[in-house]
Amino acid sequence: MAYNTANHFTAGNNNNNNNSLSLNSSSSNSNSSSFYQSKVPRPWTRRLVMMLRQHIKALLATGTFFIFVLLLSSESVYKSTGVDFATSSSNLRKRKSPYAQKHNFAGAIHPGYFTTPVASTSSSSSHGTLLSFPFAAVTDLDQLSKVTESHKPLWKSILLSATLNFDTKANTYTVTNIDDHRQLTSAHNEAGRGAEYSELVVFDHRLLTFDDRTGTIFEILNKNHGNDSYVIPRLVITEGNGNTDKGMKWEWATVKDNELYVGSMGKEYTLSDGTIANTNNLWIAIVDSTGRIKRQDWKHQYEYVKRALLGEDAAKIGYVWHEAIAWSNHWKRWIFLPRRISTDAYDEVADEKKGGHSILLVDEKFTVSTKVDIKFKHIDPLRGFSSFAFVPGTRDRHILAIRSIEEDCVGGDEKTCKQRSFLSVIDVHNGDVLMDELRLPLDMKFEGITFVDINTPEPS
């Protein structure tokens, strides 16, 4: 080791192969620079050696005590400051924790690998530029989710992928490659129901879906070089304030301020006579990138939206059912596209024909809102919004939306229940329909959509 000044210390070996420490100077000779002038120990050094030999046990005991006190004080610092004690002391133990650098979502070992895609470009038939975005959609089949041919309890959902194209010259949207789909299966269920996935979101590079029966947040992972997918349960969240054993009925999810907001239909649970049984579905959960959960009572927010859409008088009787809510980071607004809007009291049979066709833009504090009526060519009361995603590059102005249908499904009769879903592109600021509704080839109820390439290869 060298101390780089005019006079410096140098460690090395002498001719007798003994370690020595010498002080060198550019202006002095080797004799005058010797640290020890004689190998004969001086009297004070002999006394020091004798003292150390006599008291070696006491010195060792004292040193051990001070190290113990140091470790205890380090733990007390952790408790008072929140510093990760396991990480802080890892240098002392010479052990590396896989979570020392990054706390992955809900204890997952590996980081996420999905991203919101950037548009690919090509020439269009109108001699303009064709911008293409891959997207995916997922089903909530309700009772039809059960895999009846399986010997063990098993439930399924369909993950569909397609491409949204924008012709820059014709100013039109189209959808292609819509026949590609794969099956997701899971044995996780609540009371014989499972895999009823009601939303699809990319959060912290993870593709997440949400079961509206079990309250489970699943992560979708790929295998076989991105040619197949499977689900892993990451979090199970119960209803309301959490003091229940019923899984939350997740219906929508969005990312705001680097946190995941997850919510239900925003309507009280009522009995057949209209009596309110509970308000658990007025709560939301906020999840950070490590999987830590906060709960918020959104009664005020949902009530504000209902009054803004129905008016003060009708809001006292009617209801609004939500499955498509997202935060626009660009506009700093909440975007609501209700599944059902009704001025009448809730009736499960009549509810099937209360499909909404309005948008509500709300400021962050829920004090100012703007209602936008969507200019559909045909208003079908069976169709209601179940999910939407902002088209990349449009500054959150254009959305790709799903409207789904449940017809004759009251009571869960699989023989009479008919499901189907439709895609459209809408300008949320003026209600213009930029792509007329397109019926999806699979007659199923799709309830989650996001822009993502589901063929992304998994990391090796």
In this structure, what DSSP letter does residue 106 have? G
Residue (of 331, 344, 256, 351) closest to 296 by Cα position: 256
Helix (H) or strand (E) holding 347: none
Inside any domain, residue 182: yes
Q: Is 366 exposed, middle or buried (0-12, 13-18, 19+ CB in 10 A)?
A: middle
Inside any domain, residue 18: no
Inside any domain, residue 76: no
Looking only at the bridges linking them, the beta strands covering 269-270 and 259-263 are: unpaired
Inside any domain, residue 34: no
Taking the complete model, does pTM exceed 0.85, yes or no? no
CB 117 within 8 A of CB 453: yes
Inside any domain, residue 331: yes
**pLDDT for residue 415:** 81
Domains held by the chain: number = 1
Inside any domain, residue 431: yes
For residue 320, the enclosing domain spans 107-450
Residue (of 460, 458, 382) closest to 112 by Cα position: 458
The tens-digit pLDDT sequence of the chain (460 residues) is: 443 433 333 333 444 443 333 333 333 343 333 333 444 445 666 676 677 677 677 667 666 666 654 544 444 433 333 333 233 333 333 334 343 346 799 999 999 999 999 889 988 777 789 999 999 999 999 999 999 999 999 999 999 999 999 999 998 999 999 989 999 999 999 999 999 999 999 999 999 999 999 999 999 999 999 999 999 999 999 999 999 999 999 999 999 999 999 999 999 998 877 789 999 999 999 999 999 999 999 999 999 999 999 999 999 999 999 999 999 999 999 999 999 999 999 999 999 999 999 999 999 999 999 999 999 998 999 999 999 999 999 999 999 999 999 999 987 777 889 999 999 999 999 999 999 999 999 999 999 999 999 999 999 8
Amino acid at 451: F
Inside any domain, residue 153: yes
Inside any domain, residue 232: yes
Helix (H) or strand (E) holding 47: helix 43-54
Q: At 230, which CATH number? A: 2.120.10.100
**pLDDT for residue 42:** 54
